[in-house]
Amino acid sequence: MIPFLHIGPVEIPTFGLMVAAAMIAAFYVLRADLTRRGIAAKDSSDLPGSTNRRPGSPALAELLIVVPCLAGIAGAKLYHVLETPRELFAHPAEELLSRYGLAWFGGLIAGFVAWVLVARAKKIPLLESFDAGSAAAALGYGIGRIGCLLSGDGDYGVPTSLPWGMSFPNGLVPTTECVHPTPIYEFIVACAITWVLWKMGAKQIAAANPTLAKNARMGDPEKPLRSGSVFAAYLVLTGAARFLVEFIRINPRSFFGLTNAQAASVASMIAGAALWWYVGRTQPLRQG
């Protein structure tokens, strides 16, 4: 693996590069989803200062990516160090400034809070904003996992004799054993989830504007989905994927023999199922 790239005297962490790539990919997916939903515009006539400006603008996608991502990274680091408070108090600077050690659940919480604050500030309905961001979040997560693979930061799996097993002798958390390359598994599943969520979003748009949906072949207006349904599916699908992959990860067990990530995944799946039930009974269908 290649934890760092060296360009002259400059040392660039490959994990950071992949996080940047994840943010860029998520931005384009989010911008496309905001545009097709009519939340934000695509052309420059809607930039700040324009006399022909709609409520949304291209800058909205940047805000909804940059602010939650930065908050998510900070939350992931904070959650990770708080999982081992004894080590944090013994070496606070080393733990907080370490180049590795990010907890998915902490990033999810912080990123979610930041997203809510931005959406409320821009007066976007929360459930609709969550739906628009779900596919982008799934794809960004998957690409970010490739950063874990490149850096060999310990997010790999248990030893395996399968032909695609990998070793990480030069990783940040090295191992010479052949182990499950779980970041690759998560990347593949994340791409599949992104596709499913994108298609679900098309069905929502079909319910709002059947004529547009028919012309663009975007979905079946006879099987509509209410606001919040895509986000509910995101919570269930990503939670299930993370819950399952943890069985072959090297993370320590805590709650009832589960890892912390599995406990968080169960909470995510329950929240997603509850949200699906809630929106099915309270949210009206969007009308174009």
Res. 246: pLDDT tops 50? yes
Name the domain count of the chain: 1
Residues in the chain: 288
Residue 48 has pLDDT above 60, yes or no: no
Q: Which of 53-57, 101-105, 187-191 has the lowest mean pLDDT?
A: 53-57
Single-letter residue type at 140: G
Distance CA 246, CA 35 (A): 36
pTM of the model: 0.83
Q: When comparing pLDDT for 209 and 169, which is higher?
A: 169
Percent of the chain predicted with pLDDT > 90? 44
Rounded Cα gap, residues 156 and 169, in angstroms: 12
84 vs 237, higher pLDDT: 237
Domain range enclosing 209: 10-282
Q: Is the pLDDT reported for residue 49 higher than 50?
A: no
φ/ψ bin of 99: left (φ > 0), alpha (ψ from -120 to 50), beta (otherwise): alpha
pLDDT tier at 215, thresholds 50, 70, 90:
very low
Closest listed residue to residue 35, CA positions, set 212, 194, 195: 212
Residues near 55 by beta carbon (within 8 Å), at least 6 away in sequence:
39, 123
Judged against a pLDDT cut of 80, whether residue 262 lies above it is answered with yes
26 in any annotated domain = yes
Q: Which pLDDT value is given to residue 253?
A: 82
Tell me how far apart the alpha carbons of residues 263 and 267 are, in angstroms, rounded to a whole number: 6
| Residues in Cβ contact with 80 at an 8 Å cutoff, skipping those fewer than 6 apart | 101, 102, 103, 106
CA angle 43-22-7, nearest 5°? Answer: 110
- Asked if residue 287 belongs to a domain, the reply is no
User: Does residue 49 fall inside a structural domain?
Assistant: yes
Give pLDDT tens digits for 74-83: 888 787 777 6
Report if residue 288 sits inside a domain. no
Residue 3, domain member (yes or no): no
pLDDT at 216 over 60: no
Q: Per the domain annotation, does 65 fall within a domain? A: yes
**How far is it, in rounded angstroms, from Cα 43 to Cα 58?**
7
Q: What is the mean pLDDT of residues 139-152?
A: 93
Q: In this structure, what are the phi and psi dihedrals at residue 20, rounded to the nearest 5 degrees?
A: -65, -40
**Residue 6: its pLDDT value, please?**
85
pLDDT band at 210 (very low <50, low <70, confident <90, very high): low
pLDDT of 271 reads 96
Does residue 5 belong to any structural domain of this protein?
no
E strands of the chain, at which residues? 4-7, 10-13, 166-168, 175-179
CA 118: distance to chain centroid? 17
Establish if 2 belongs to a structural domain: no
Q: What is the pLDDT of residues 102-128, one digit of tens each?
A: 676 778 788 889 999 999 998 899 999
Given this model, what pLDDT does residue 95 score?
Answer: 64
